Structure 1
Amino acid sequence: MALAWQEATIAAAAPETPRVRRLSLAVGWERPFRAGQHVDVRLTAPDGYQAQRSYSIASPPTRPGLIDLMVERLDDGEVSGFFADVAAVGDAIELRGPIGTFAWEPGQGGPLLLVGGGSGVVPLLSMLRHRAEAAPEVPALLLYSARTPEAVIARDELVRRGATEPAFRLMLCLTRVAGGRRIDTARIAEVLAHLGRPAHTFVCGSNPFVGAAADLLVDAGVPPRTIRTERFGG
C-alpha cells in the first residue's frame, strides 16, 4: 500500500555547513523508522506546480514525532533552494515515509563499516546515533570523504564520538586540502586492518562515489552480499 502524504512543520532550522542546512521537522506519524531510511518531501507552488525530492533522516529513531534532515543547497535545486533561502520555523510542508531498506538495527550487530561521500553521510549519522544509544559496544568505523574540513557534516559531533566512544573510529578523507586524497586501496586496507572484516557495510553518496567505493571494498575481500548501497545523482 502506498504511503500517504502528510503534513509536517518545521520546528527548527540552523546552518550545518556553508552549503547544508539542518531542519528539524515535527511529524505526525506513529510508526518508528529504521536508522538509514529517508522521506520524500513535496512542495506545492500557488499555481499548483509541485516539486519533490528524497532526503535521508539524520536523527535516531528514538525521538518520536521529530526528525532531522540535512539539506544541501544545489545550484539548480528547486527544493533545496526553498529550504536554503525561504523555509522558516513554523512553515508546513508535505512528506511521506519512512521509506527504504538501506537501514541498520542494533540487533544486526557488527562490526559495522560506514562509508560516506559528502552529504551521503546523513543516513550513516542516523545509524551512528542509534548505535551510540542502543548498542555502543558494536564496533563501528566511519570512513567519510569530504572536500574540506568546513564541508564535514556534524564535524564536532563526529570528532567527539571518535575521541570518547571506545568502539567507534572516525577516518576522514579530505579531497581539496593540501596533501589530501580520495578513498583509495591503501585507505581501505587501513580501514580493514583496524576494524577487521565487517559484518555489515553501508555506502552512501553520489553514483560515481558509491561505485568506486564498493569496487574497492570488493577488491579488498569484503563479501558483496554484506555491502548495502544508497546513491543519489551526480
Structure 2
Amino acid sequence: MTERAVATGTPARAPIRWQVGRLVERRVETPSAHTLVLEVPDWPGHLPGQHVDLRLTAPDGYQAARSYSVAGPVVDGPGGPRIEVTVQRVPDGEVSPYLIDVYGPGDPVEVRGPLGGWFIWRPEETAPVQLLGGGSGIVPLMAMIRARRAAGSKVPFRLLYSVRTPGDVIYGDELRRRVRDDFGLDVAYVYTREAPEGWRGEPHRIGLADVNTHGWPPDLEPLTYVCGPTGFVETVADLLVGLGHPSRRVKTERFGPTG
C-alpha cells in the first residue's frame, strides 16, 4: 500500500455525487473514537482539512447522513483509492453508534465529497502553522500533520490539543512518534478534567497562557486552524485575535452534538 502524492492544488472540479464506499480496516483510537478506512473506487482526491458526508439507509428507506473530516492523504489499495475518517461516538446519535458498533468489513456506506474549500492547508504554503484542536477536532488537523510529512514539507507546525483526560487523546501513539521523527512539529496538551501522573499544573480549560505559550507570535503571520466544539472554537478564536493575530489568518471549523 503506497500513499499517493499529496495534491498541491484544488482537485479537478467535477459534480460531487454520492458513491458507495466499503470498510476495509478499522483502528480503535479510544474507546469512543474509531478510524474507518474506506475503499472508494472513484474517489477524486482531496486536500488536508476537507470533509465528506457519509449516508446510511435503513431497510425501510429512512436515510441519515453526517459529515466527517478526512483524516489523512489518499492511499492506493488493491480495489481502488482509500480514505480514512475518524468517528467519535455521540450518545443517542443516529449514525456514529452504528459506524462504531455495527458497521463491519465489506459493508457499504454512501460517500459524498470532498467538501469544503476554506478550512484547508496546502503543502506549498511556507508560513508557520499553528493548530488548535478540542476533542475530535483533532481529525482535520491530523490530516494536515500527515500531509506535511507526506509532502516532505519543512514548514514548522505547532499543535495545541485540548482533551478531557489522557484516555481521550485521539492518535496519541502516532503523535508521540511524529514529535520524535517529524522535525519541526511540536505538540502540547491541555487537560480539562484529569491530567496524567506527573503533569505540571492542574486540569483547566484552554486559556490565554496556553495559547500564548504554545502558539506562534503574531508577527510571524502564521496560518492558524482551530477545530472543535462551538464553545472551544469561539474562545480560542477570541484569544488569538486578542493576542494580535489577524482574523483573516485564523480559520475555524466547529461541530455540534449531532451524531
TM range (shorter): over 0.9
| 1:81 and 2:97 correspond | yes
CA distance in 2, matches of 1:196, 1:60: 31
2:211 to 188, 208, 226: 188
Residue 183 of structure 1: CA displacement?
A: 1.4
Structure 1 SS opposite 2:106: coil
Aligned to 1:9: 22
AA aligned opposite 1:207 = T
Q: 1:195 to 1:17 in 2, by over 3 A?
A: farther
Structure 2 SS opposite 1:211: helix
CA distance in 1, matches of 2:15, 2:255: 22
Percent of matched pairs sharing the same residue: 44
Structure 1 SS opposite 2:170: coil
2:159 to 142, 149, 168: 142
CA distance in 2, matches of 1:112, 1:193: 8
AA aligned opposite 1:96 = R
2:53 to 40, 57, 60: 40
CA RMSD of the aligned region, Å? 1.8
Aligned to 2:253: 230
CA distance in 2, matches of 1:152, 1:194: 26
| 1:22 and 2:39 correspond | no
Aligned to 1:170: 187
Q: 1:115 to 1:193 in 2, by over 3 A?
A: closer
TM value normalised by structure 2 = 0.86
Residue 163 of structure 1: CA displacement?
A: 2.3
Q: 1:86 to 1:36 in 2, by over 3 A?
A: same
Alignment of 1:205-220 (within 5 A): 205-220=228-243
Residue 174 of structure 1: CA displacement?
A: 1.1
List runs of 5+ in structure 1 lacking aligned partners.
Answer: none
Deviations 1:101-127 (CA, angstroms, capped at 9, x unpaired): 211111122201111100000001110
List runs of 5+ in structure 2 lacking aligned partners.
Answer: 1-13, 196-201
Larger CA deviation: 193-202 vs 6-15: 193-202
Residue 160 of structure 1: CA displacement?
A: 1.6
Larger CA deviation: 59-68 vs 75-84: 59-68
Residue 170 of structure 1: CA displacement?
A: 0.2
Larger CA deviation: 210-219 vs 128-137: 128-137
| 1:58 and 2:56 correspond | no
Residue 15 of structure 1: CA displacement?
A: 1.5
Residue 7 of structure 1: CA displacement?
A: 0.3
CA distance in 2, matches of 1:184, 1:76: 31
Deviations 1:203-222 (CA, angstroms, capped at 9, x unpaired): 11111111011001101111
TM value normalised by structure 1 = 0.94
Structure 2 SS opposite 1:28: coil
